[in-house]
Each structure stands twice: as structure tokens, then as C-alpha cells.
Structure 1
Amino acid sequence: MRPIEALLEIIRDEGVTRIFGNPGTTELPLMDALVEAPDLEYVLGLQEGSVVAMADGYARASRRTAFVSLHVAAGVANGMIGMLNALRSRTPMVIVAGQQDRRHLLQDPMLSGDLVGLASAATKFAFEVQHARDLPLVLRRAFALAARPPAGPVLISVPMDLLEEDVDVAVPARSPVSGPGPAVAGVAEAAALLAAAERPVVIAGDGVGRAGAVQALVAVAEGLGATVYHQPMNDGIDFPGGHPLYAGMLAPRNTAIRETLAEHDAALIVGCHAFMPHHYTPGSAVPDGLDIVQIDEDPAEIGRNFPVRHGLTGDLAATLRALADRLDVPSAPDRAQRIGAATDQARAAVESAARDAYGPVPMDPGAAAHAVAAGLPADAVVVEEAITTGLRLRAVLRQDRPGSYVHTVGGGLGWGIGAAVGTRLADPDRPVVAVLGDGCAMFGLQGLWSAARYEVPVAFVVMNNGEYRTLKDTLDQSGGASAEHGRYVGMDLTGPALDWQAAGRLFDIDTVRPESADALRDAVASVKDLTRPLLIEARITGHGR
């Protein structure tokens, strides 16, 4: 079959039903072929950052590798922020980028460029196909590599004339590959070390949620009677948020992590990419003398940033089940009861403070976050890109089902709107609420167009404080001139003020502007009945107000 026919045949065989893209001239062979391929839906985005973000959300919710089509060097450059997020969040994705016609590449034609060089730092692998006969094999390799732990985006540069060649290419069959088995060596020793601990702690990394290993980790934590923390800035639900052993998220600073872990004598770290601190603080995240058992699907993670007593590589769920079966800790129930009492008390204090702050606009950020959490419909998915308010939201969310919370540790702004659209497209039976900072939302505003075009019923809650609050808070902590004078350069989104009601009208999206925390809670509760997108503007207090 012809190269373009082979491309469509392979992506169908790999489970692709939607192509996320923004086309240009180099994609015309693909766009023309899709006219006769009604089983492949093309999801159009107005800018490549939104396109890749939609694919990211879609891949996570569908648990399948997403497929993206980008246009030449400019499209790859625009999409790189999404690729960086996908790489950090371990999202499997295959990106085919159209390259200029090879017959005049030597002349440095308009729109051409080094697509592989551009994408290499933001992908697991990037490659440019030069011969039509190689395209099918490269595509098969790309899908296999994108899904292999650690998962991530893979980019293929395809010259447009290659797709148009009238040559017959062979399509290799898909090679089913089983996942890794459980770790074999070291499980008994790891179980013995953890069982002997008096103050064990468990750190649940995002690999746990991706691997479907949450319940297996619960069995281990209960078998130990251990306090459980999420990794810093976790991307998903890796341990049930309402479980009595769950104590919240580790702060993304080495000193804070070290202080927390110093209360324990042994730690089980599972599926965690080396803690990934945000702000620099001196020293290791791990205190001296802490005995560590680390389990991961990726052998490169074991002992990567700190020494471990036992490192186990293999399927997380199977390895954790084997570990749980070997645990016999008579003191575990008593420890669990004490931990549960402490977590209940801490949660009650957070709840009380948030409720006490309820009032009219501008709302207290903690009250606004609590109102969103309180109003969430049953089985809702929260897609969060709200920076400072997002931290308050994490403190009050009590979600237990994996996939109910979606974030990107990549940190590339503008991801949230597109990711929410992709999430709802992949799982149309669950309500989706995107909680966005106003600054973050401006980076990905074009994604609202796709939400409106495809009538994707997502509620976009914009936390509007008119500033880059996280930057001001960081400067305040550093004690510099900005904090001394109360003046912050380039951090205010005023003059002209952002009009989110006008943004809704621009994209033909309904909007509401709640006048109190109670009204915000009710607006969020109503999203269970959405049939089209809704923008909810939550006006919250800014810095020092």
C-alpha cells in the first residue's frame, strides 16, 4: 500500500480513533486521506500548545497512546511546551510532524527547520524518516517506545512528499509485548526491613496511579500501619485521599521533605521520580540514617538521587501484592488507629478554617478551593492548573478513585484547558471540572475554541486574582526589594483587566460569575448536567488584600 495508507492502517491497528492536530501545507496528504477515513476523527485546535495538551489529557483518561499531527518547525516549536509536560508526566504520545518537501530542503525553504533537533530535548526520541519503505517500521517503533516505561512522547518528522509517493510499502504486524513481571529478588528482604520499622512511611509516586497499583499500595500501607504521603505536586490519585493513613502531599522542597521524613525510621518509595523539588533548598531530601525501599518500573530511578537499602524493579501492582503478602506486623492496627486520629484532626482544622473564610467576592482563595471541592459532582474529574489556589485545593480534596485528579508536574503553563477537553473526550461519562489560575488560562486560551466547537461539556473554573500570585509569594519569602517596597515588576494582570465574561462570549461559551463562596459551590455542583462548556469566573483576593 502507499505510505499514507500505511500510516492510517498502522495508527488504526495501534488503537487510535482520534487525531489531535492543527494542519498546514505539509499535512495536506494526511488531511486529504482522512476524507475517506471516517473512523478517524480529526480534533482541531487553534494552536499547537492546546493540541498537545488535549492529547495529553486524552491519553491519560483513555489509558492509550495519543496521536498528534503538527506542522513543520513552527508547529513543533509551539507544541514543545506540551511535549515537555508529557515527558515529565510520563504521558504516552506519538507525534508526526510534517517536514517540507525533500526536493528543495537543501534550499532552506520557508517553514523548514531541524525538527528532530527542536524536539529532542522535549521527547523520549525524535527521528526523521527519509525513505517511504522505512515509515511503517518507524511508526511501529514509535508506538512501542512511547508506551514503554518510562512512557512519554515520541516525535517522527515526515517530509510531505514522502507521504505522496506512489510506491508500495510493507506494513509490519503489531508485536504484542507483555508488561514487566513482579520483582523477584529482594521482596522478602524488603518486607523484613519494613516490618521491623517502628515508624514506617510510604511515599506514593505517580507511577502507582499510572500502573493501576493503588489498591495494592493500600494493602501494603495497611499491613505496615504506615503514614502515607503523595510525592510533591503529584499528577494524579496514587493513594485514596479519604483514607485514614493519608497525610497529604510532601512539599516540593528538600528541606521540607527531609523534616517530614526525619520522623520515620524506614520509607517505602514507590513509582516516584526522585521527589522533583521545585524551589532550591540545601541538602538532600532524605535524612541520614533513613532505611529506604524503592520500587519502580524504571530501573534508572532506583538510587538515582539517594542511596537505598533495597531497590526492586518490576510491575508495581504485582510487586506490591507480593510485598503485602509477606508482611506480618502485629503493631500495624494500633499504629493505623493513631495515625487515623491525627489525620482526622488535621483535616478537621483545614475544613474549619476554609468554611470560616466563606464570604462574598473577592473570595478568600482557601474558601474558593473548598467551595469547588464541596460542590464537585459524584465521580467528577478535576483537572488542576491553578498554582497557588491549587495547593489549597489539594488540601481539601478527598478523592479516592484513580483518574479523578489530573495535573502536570511538567509546569508548562497553558496545559489545563486543553487537557480538560481531552479528558472529557476520552471519558464522556464523568463530569470534568478544570480549576485554572487566570495566568495559566491565558496561556492556553485557544483551547476554549475546541471545547466550543466539539461541544465538550467541561466546566472551566478560572480563579481570578489578577496577578501572578506565586511569584509574589516567593519574593516575599526571599525578603528582597519587592517585599520591602511592596512593589512587584511584571506580575500584575491589570490595566486592562482580564474580562473572562468577554472571553466566554468570544468563544461562544456560557459564563457565570458567582458572587460568594456558597454561590461558587452551587455553580460547580450544577456541572453534572452540562451539555456544553461553561466558564465559571471565581474572583478571589489578590496579594495583600
Structure 2
Amino acid sequence: MRPIDAMFRVLREEHVTKVFGNPGTTELPFVDALAQADDIEYVLGVQEASVVAMADGYARATGRPAFVSLHVAAGLANGLVGLLNASRSRTPLVVTAGQQDRRHLVQDPMLSGDLMGLARPAVKHAFAVEHSWELPILLRRAFHLAVQPPSGPVFLSVPMDLLAEEADVDLPARSTVAPRGAARGAVDAARLLADARRPVIVAGDGVGRAGGVGALVELAEALGAAVYHQPFNDGIDFPTSHPLYAGVLAPTNAEIRDTLAAYDTVVVAGCHAFMPHHYTPGPAVPEGMTVVQLDDDGAEIARNFAVDLGLVGEIGATLADVVAEVRVVLDGLPDPGERAAAVAARTAAQRAAVDGEAEALYGPAPMDPLAAAHAVATGLPQDAVVVEEAITTGVRLRRVLRQERPRSFVHTVGGGLGSGIGAAVGTRLGDPLRPVVAMLGDGCTLFGLQGLWSAARYRVPVTFVVMNNGEYRTLKETLDGWGTDAARAGVYTGTDLGPLDFTRAAEFFGVPAVRVAHTDELVAAVAEAAASQEGPLLIEVPVTGHGEGGTK
């Protein structure tokens, strides 16, 4: 069969029903063939960063690799921020970009470029397809590699003339790969955990990706252990409404160390080495602490700290085995129920305090960021998916958000701004039965504004909530913490955005928009919009800026 026919056979056999892309001349053979493929939809984005963000959200919602088509070097360069985010968040993507016609590459034609050099630092693997018979093999390989631990994006460069060839190529069959299975060492892990007097668990995003949340809950309850999410968690790796849930670890070694110092034994499950944000001296794990680490990626074990026992295997299955062995070892030992009750009492008091603090700040706009975050959380439908890219208000949202169901929270620990709008659109396309609410900062919204075009074009019912303070507040707060002379004088360079009207920006793209004037109005607007199936809505929320009072 022809290379283009083999390509579409592979896509269908890999369950691809949507292609996320922005086409150019080098993709025209592929786009032209799509016109005959009624079972595969082309989801158009008007800028490649939004395209990749949509694919990222879609892949997470469906649990399978998303397929992306970018345009030569320039389009790939625009999409790099999304690929960097997907790599950090370990989202499986298969990404292609059309290369110029091989017959005149030697002349350095317009649009040509070093696609492999651009892609390699941002993806898990990169392949240059040079011959027609390589295309089906490398495309099949890309889908296979994208989901292998550690999962992530895989890139292929495909010359435009190759897709127009009439050559006869072989199609490799799709393979079935058995799951890796549980790690060895569950009995040894159980013995270490049974000796713990003050156990704690750090739930990493690998737990959520592996479907291991239920098993981690069982382990926490069996041990009576407090559970923290990894810094800037990308998903629900432990129910945030659970009595043993203690919150999110702060993103510095010093703060993580201070938190863990209250415990004697830690289970680090599916966590990428804590990923600190700002530098602080010293390690994240206190000296003398017993550490049990488990992951599906052997490179994570003992990566940044020593472990007493490292387990490499499928995370959900490994957790289930550890739970079973813990119950055997604990049989006859003192019931950890008293320990669990003490943890639950602390967490309940902390939640009541933050809820009370937020509710006391309810009032007219500009709203306090904590009150605004609490209002959004209060208005959410029970089954909603929250996409968070709000930086300072997002940190506050994590303190008040109570979610139980896996895949109910979407974030990117990659940190490349502008993903939120596209990720929300892709999330709803991937799971159309669940309401999606995106909470966005004004700066993040500006980075990804073009994603609103796709939301309007495909009438995707997403609620975009934009927290508008007209500044990069997180940078000002960081400078305050550093105590620089300029910060003490109240001088912050390059951090003010000025007055912005996001209702007008939304309406330009065809997205209806409202501006709320009170926290009570925000609660009602989120509840009503999230329950609607009519299409997208943007809610602009004026919030206080740096130095305007309210919470820190």
C-alpha cells in the first residue's frame, strides 16, 4: 500500500479519531488525504502552542496518545512550549511535522530547517523519516514508545514528497504488550512501614497516571499515614477530600524538609524527585528518615536522595501488593486508628480554618484571590474537571479544592505558560460527559489566548475563569521574599500588565463573556456555566493585586 494509506491504517489501529493541527504547505498531502477519512476529525488550532495544549488535555482525558500535526520548523518551534510541558507532565503524544520536499533540501528552501535539532531537547524520542518504507514502522514505533514508562511525546519529521509517493510499503501489525506488573520487594517494604511510628506518604503524579489512587488510599488508611501531594501536582493522585489528605508540598527543598521532619518514614510514590522551584540549600529529605520509593521508571529511584528500599514496577499493582503485605505484617500490632484519627483532626482543623478565612473575605470586586478561588471551588459541579493555570490564585485554589475522582484536576508541572485554555478544550473533547472549568491567570490567558478560537469554532462547553489583577503577582511576591532593594522600595520591573478587558478579547474570538462584581456572583456564574452544554463562556474576575491587601 502507499505510504499515506499505511499512515492512516496505523492511525486507525491506534484508535486515533482526532488530529490536532495547524496545516501548511508541507502538510498538504496529509490534509488532502484527511478529506477522504470521515472517521478522523481534524481539530484546527490557529497557533501551534494551543494545538499541542489541546492534544495534551485530550490525551490525559482519554488515557491514550493524542496525534499532532505541526508545520515545518516554524510550527514546531511554536509548539515547543507544549512539548516541553508534555515531557515534564509525561503526556503521551505522537507529533509529526512536515519537512520540505527532499528533492530541493540541498538548496535550503524556504520553510526548511533542522527539525530534529529543534525537537530532540523537548521530546522523549525523535525520528526523521527518510524513506517511504520507514514511515509505517516509525509511526508504529512512536505510538509504542509514547506510552512506555516514562511516557511522553515522540516526534517524527516527514518530508512532504514522501507522503505523495506511489511506492508499495509493508504495514507492521500492531503489537500487544503485557503490563510490566508489580515490583518485587513488597514484603520488605511492608516490614519497613510496619516499624514506622509517624509514617507519611508523598503522592506523585505517577500514581494518578497509573490508576493507583485507590490502592494508595488503602495504604494510607492501613498505616494511618498523612498524605501530601507532590509540589505542583498535575492531577488527583490522592482524594483531596480524604481525612488523611494534608495538602500540597511547597516547591523548595527547605520547606519539604521542614514538613517531612515531623515524620520518621516516608513513602514516595510516582514522584519525579520533588522538582523544587526556587533554590534552597540542603536536601529535601531529612537526615535519618526511612525512605521507601516506588516508581515505574527505574531512573527515578534514588535520583536525588538515598532510599532504604526502591521498588520499580507498575505503580498501581505494586501499591496493591504492598497494601496486602502491610496488612499481614500489621496483624496483631497496635491498631493505627488512633494515629489516623490524630491526622484527620489536624487536617479537618486546617480545612475549617482556610474555609473560614476565605469566606470572611467574600465581597465586591476587586476580590481577594483566596476568596475568588474559594468561590470557584464552591460553584463547581460535583463531577467537574478543573484545569488550573492561575499561578498565585492557583496556589490558593489548591488549599480549598476538594476532589475525589481521578482525572478531575489538570495542571502542567512543565511551567510553560499558555497551556490552560488549550488543555481545557482538549480535556472536554476527550471526555465530553464531564463539565470542565479552567481557572486562569491574566498573564497565562494572554499567552494562550488563541485557544479561544478553537473553543468557539467547535462550540466546546468549557468555562474559562480569568483572574485579572493586571500584573505578574507571583514575580512581585518572589522578589518580596528575596528582600531586594528594589522590592523594598516597591519597584518591580516588567511585571505590570495594566488594565485588560478579557470580555472584549473573548468576544473577538466569538466566545460569550461576563465580568462578575462579587464573590457570590462568581459562585453562581461558575455553577450555571459549568452545567450548560451550549458552548464556551469566559468569566472575568477582577482580583486584588500585589500590595492591595487580602491574603498572602
Shift of 1:422: 0.2
Q: Which deviates the most, 119-128 or 523-532?
A: 523-532
Residue of structure 1 in register with 2:107 after alignment: 107
Q: Does 1:375 align with 2:379?
A: yes
Listed one character per residue, the Cα deviations across residues 28-86 of structure 1 (whole Å, up to 9, x for unaligned) are 00011011101000000000000000000000000010000000000000000000000
Amino acid at match of 1:248: G
Q: How many angstroms apart in 1 are the aligned matches of 2:464 and 2:83?
A: 23
Task: State the SS of the aligned residue for 1:143.
Answer: helix
Q: What is the distance in 1 between the residues matched to 2:167 and 2:304?
A: 51
Distance between the aligned counterparts of 1:505 and 1:317, measured in 2? Answer: 45
5+ residue gaps, structure 1, are: none
Using the alignment, how far apart are the partners of 1:212 and 1:532 within structure 2? 30
1:51 and 2:51 correspond: yes
Return the alpha-carbon distance in structure 2 between the equivalents of residues 99 and 193 of structure 1. 55
Pair 1:509-2:547 in alignment: no
Alpha-carbon distance between aligned partners in 1 of 2:117 and 2:475, rounded to the nearest angstrom: 32
Q: Following TM superposition, by how much is the alpha carbon of 1:504 offset from its aligned partner in structure 2, in angstroms? A: 1.6
Aligned-residue offset at 1:529: 1.8
Instruction: State the 1:331 CA deviation.
Output: 3.2
Q: Counterparts of 1:530 and 1:354 in 2: how far apart (Å)?
A: 30
Structure 2 equivalent of residue 249 of structure 1: 248
Give 1:330 shift.
Answer: 2.7
Task: Judge conservation of contact 1:271–1:316 (CA < 8 Å) in 2.
Answer: yes
What percent identity do the matched residue pairs reach? 65
* Residue 233 of structure 2 is aligned to residue 234 of structure 1: yes
Partner of 1:388: 392
Q: TM-score, normalised by structure 2?
A: 0.98
C-alpha separation in 2, matches of 1:165 and 1:434: 44
Give matches, 1:403-442, under 5 Å.
403-442=407-446
| 1:317 Cα deviation from its structure 2 partner | 1.2
> Shift in Å at residue 107 of structure 1?
0.8
Q: Deviation per CA, 1:417-450, whole angstroms, max 9, x where unpaired?
A: 0000000001111000000000000000000000
Equivalent residues in 2 for 1:213-362, closer than 5 Å: 213-327=212-326, 328=330, 330-362=334-366
C-alpha offsets along residues 89-111 of structure 1, whole Å, 9 cap, x if unaligned? 00000001100000111111111
Which residue number in structure 1 is paired with residue 156 of structure 2? 156
Distance 2:344 2:163 in 1: 60
Aligned to 1:12: 12
Cα deviations across residues 261-312 of structure 1 (Å, max 9, x unaligned)? 1111110000000000001111110110011000000011000000100000
Q: CA deviation at 1:530?
A: 3.5
Letter in 1 for 2:440: L
Secondary structure of the residue aligned to 2:170 is coil
d(CA) in 2 for partners of 1:426, 1:25: 28
Offset at residue 119 of structure 1 (A): 0.6
Q: What amino acid does structure 2 have at the position aligned with 1:17?
A: T
**SS class of match (2:474):** helix
* Post-superposition offset of 1:318: 1.1
Matched residue SS, 2:228: strand
Q: CA deviation at 1:482?
A: 2.4
- Deviation, 1:178, is 1.4
What's the counterpart of residue 32 of structure 2?
Answer: 32
Q: Compute the displacement of 1:458 (Å).
A: 0.2
Using the TM superposition, give the Cα deviation of residue 127 of structure 1 relative to its aligned residue in structure 2, in angstroms.
Answer: 1.3
User: Within 2, Cα distance between the matches of 1:46 and 1:529?
Assistant: 26
Unpaired runs of 5+ residues, structure 2, are none
Q: Distance in 1 between matches of 2:534 and 2:314?
A: 39
The corresponding residue for 1:539 is 542
Alpha-carbon RMSD across the aligned residues, in angstroms, is 0.7
List per-residue Cα deviations over 1:465-485 (Å, max 9, x = no partner): 000000000001101122121
Q: Secondary structure at the match of 1:80?
A: helix
How far does the alpha carbon of each residue in 1:93-138 deviate from its partner, in whole angstroms, 9 at most, with x for none? 0001100000111111111101010010000011111000011100
In the alignment, is the contact (CA less than 8 A) between 1:476 and 1:482 conserved in 2?
no
* Deviation of 1:229 (Å): 0.3
Q: CA-to-partner distance for each residue in 1:502-531, whole Å, 9 max, x for gaps?
A: 112101111111110110011001021231
**After the TM superposition, which residues 439-518 of structure 1 pair with which residues of structure 2 at under 5 Å, given as runs?**
439-494=443-498, 497-518=499-520
Deviation at 1:542, TM superposition (A): 0.4
What amino acid sits opposite 2:378 in the alignment?
Answer: A
Paired residue secondary structure (1:228): strand
SS of residue matched to 1:445:
coil
Counterpart contact for 1:386–1:440, Cα < 8 Å: yes
Matched to 2:511, the amino acid is I
Superposition misfits of 4+ residues, deviation over 4 angstroms? none
- Greater shift, 351-360 or 314-323, is seen at 314-323
Equivalent position SS for 1:493:
coil
Give distance in 1, aligned partners of 2:533 and 2:415: 29
- The whole-number CA distance in structure 2 between the counterparts of 1:473 and 1:35 is 51
Contact preservation (8 Å) 1:202, 1:228: yes
Aligned with 2:158: secondary structure?
Answer: strand
Q: Does the CA contact (< 8 Å) of 1:116 and 1:128 recur in 2?
A: yes
Task: Determine the C-alpha separation between the residues in 2 that align with 1:246 and 1:64.
Answer: 29
Counterpart in the other structure of 2:125: 125
Deviates more, 1:132-141 or 1:326-335: 326-335
